Amino acid sequence: MNRYENRRALVTGGGSGIGQATVLRLLAEGGRVVAADISEAGLKDTVDKAGAHAGRLTTVVVDIADETSVQGGVAFAVETLGGLDVLVNAAGILRSAHTHEQSLADFARIIAVNLTGTFLVIREAIPALLAGDAPAVVNFSSTSAQFAHPYMAAYAASKGGVQSMTHALAAEYGKQGIRFTAVQPGSISSGMTDGSGASGQSAGPGLPEDTDWSLFTKLAPALGEGFAGPETVAGVVAMLASEDGRFITGTEIRIDGGTHY
C-alpha cells in the first residue's frame, strides 16, 4: 500500500515505542515524515531502522512540554515538508504512584507532557493543516481514560483530557476539513509500558513495590495472544489518518485485544 505517497506527516514521540512504529509505517506506505522526540539517541535509532526509507525521514529534537521548543519544532517540520497533512501526537509519559504520595511536581509533569504538550503541538500545527491535503490528526488517549487503572490517576486524567479535547477539536474544525481522532492503546508492549524506551519521555510505569494486583480486574487480552507489539497500533493510526479513514472523526478507537471488553 502507498496510502501516504505525497503526504506529509509530523509524528511526535517518534524515537521509541508506538511513535517510532508509526513513523516506520508511514514511511513504508510512501509518506514523507518528520519524527520529533526529546531523545536524540531515540531519533537516531528510528533513522537506522528506517533503512531504505530514511531518505524521506527527517528528525527534530522537541520537548513537547516546552512551548518554545514546540513552536520551533513544528515550524521546522512544516518548512522541511513544505506543508503538513498529518499530525500524530504519540509523545507521552507514564508514571505510577500511590496518589497520596505523589508530588505536585510529578502530577504537573504528567499533565504538562501528555495533555498540555498535545495541545501545544496541535495549536502550532493547525495553520499548516488547514492548508494541507485531507488533513488529519491522530491523538493518543489510553484505556486508562475510561477504565480503572490503579496508581495511575494523573496519567488517567491526562489521557481523559486528550480524549475530550479530541472531540472538541473535531467539532470546531470539521467544517474546515481537519479530522481529529484518538487511539486508546492497552495491553501493548512498548517503551512506555516496559521501561525500555530510549526517550526520556517514555519511561515505564514503575508500579509501587506494594502494588495490590487484585485491584487490576482485567490484565490479559481476550484474544489470548498476550501483549501486542507497537506496530499493532501503528497500523490503526495509519488507517485513521489515510483516505481509508475519511469518514471517521470525533471519536476514539480502543486497541487492546479485548482486555477491557
Query: Is the confidence at residue 191, as pLDDT, over 80?
Result: no
Domain ranges of the chain: 8-255
How confident is the model over 202-209, as a mean pLDDT? 67
The answer to whether residue 155 is catalytic is yes
- The active-site residue, picked from 4, 155, 173, 261, is 155
Question: What would the CATH number be for the domain defined by 8-255?
Answer: 3.40.50.720
Does the pLDDT at position 205 exceed 70?
Answer: no
- pLDDT, residue 224, reads 67
Higher-confidence position of 223 and 25: 25
pLDDT tens readout for residues 106-159: 999 999 999 999 999 999 999 999 999 999 999 999 999 999 889 999 999 999
- Strand 32-37, strand 251-255: pairing: unpaired
| Edge-to-edge order in the sheet of strand 8-12 | 57-61, 32-37, 8-12, 86-89, 136-140, 179-185, 251-255
pTM score, whole prediction: 0.93
Q: What is the mean pLDDT of residues 101-109?
A: 96
Residues in the chain: 261
- Specify whether the CB–CB gap between 106 and 95 falls below 8 A: yes
